Structure 1
Amino acid sequence: MVDAPRIPCQLYLVSPQEVAGEFPARLEQALSSGAGLVTAFQFRVKGLDDEQAAQLAAPLLDLCRAHDCAFIVNDSPTLAHRLGADGVHLGQGDGDVRSARALLGPRAQIGVTCHGSRHLAMDAGEQGADYVAFGSFFPSRTKASEHRAEPAILDWWSRLFELPCVAIGGITPANCGPLVAAGADFLAVSHSVWSAPDVAAAVADFRTAMAMEHPADVGG
Structure 2
Amino acid sequence: MKKLEGIYLVLDPNQPWLELLEKTQQALKGGVQLLQIWNHWPEQVTEQDKIKFCQDIKKIAQTYQVPVLINEDWKLAEKCNLDGVHLDKVPEEFELIRESLKSKIIGLTVGNQEELILWAEENQLSYISFCSVFPSSSVDTCELVHPESIQQARKLTSLPIFLSGGINPENLEKLSHFSFEGIAVISGILNSTDPEMAVQTYLQQLK
Q: TM-score, normalised by structure 1?
A: 0.83
* 1:207–1:192 Cα change, 3 Å: same
Displacement of 1:188: 0.5
1:193 is the counterpart of 2:189: yes
| Displacement after TM superposition at 1:178 (Å) | 3.1
Please state how far the C-alpha of 1:128 moved relative to its aligned partner: 2.9
For the aligned residue pairs, the C-alpha RMSD in angstroms reads 2.0
Quick check: 1:44 aligned with 2:38?
A: yes
Q: Which residue of 2 aligns with 1:139?
A: 135
Residues 141, 191 of structure 1: 8 Å contact kept? no
Q: Provide the rounded CA distance (Å) in 2 between the counterparts of 1:185 and 1:96.
A: 28
Which of 23, 26, 44 does residue 26 from structure 1 map onto? 23
Task: Determine if the alignment matches structure 1 residue 86 to structure 2 residue 86.
Answer: no
Gaps of 5+ in 2: none
Distance 1:180 1:98, change over 3 A: farther
- Give the C-alpha shift of residue 49 in structure 1: 4.6
Q: 1:159 to 1:93 in 2, by over 3 A?
A: closer
Question: Which amino acid is the alignment partner of residue 34 of structure 2?
Answer: A
Alignment check: 8 A CA contact 2:35 2:68 kept? yes
Shift of residue 116, structure 1, vs aligned partner: 1.6
Structure 1 residues 145, 45: CA separation in 2 closer, same or farther (over 3 Å shift)? closer
Which residue does the alignment assign to 2:53? 56
Q: 1:37-57 CA deviation, whole Å, 9 max, x = no partner?
A: x21000114244532211111
Write out per-residue CA displacement over residues 182-220 of structure 1, whole angstroms, 9 at most, x where no aligned residue. 012120000111111111121121022112xxxxxxxxx
Give 5+ residue unaligned stretches, structure 1.
1-6, 212-220
Quote the sequence identity (%).
23
Contact 2:11 2:37 in 1 (8 A): yes
Q: Deviations over 1:41-91 (max 9, x none)?
A: 001142445322111111111111110111011111100101111100011
Please give the alpha-carbon distance, in whole angstroms, between the structure 1 residues aligned to 2:8 and 2:81: 19
Shift of 1:141: 2.2
Counting only pairs closer than 5 Å after superposition, residues 1-220 of structure 1 correspond to structure 2 as 9-16=5-12, 17-18=14-15, 20-34=17-31, 38-47=32-41, 48-92=45-89, 94-105=91-102, 107-211=103-207
Paired residue secondary structure (1:21)? helix
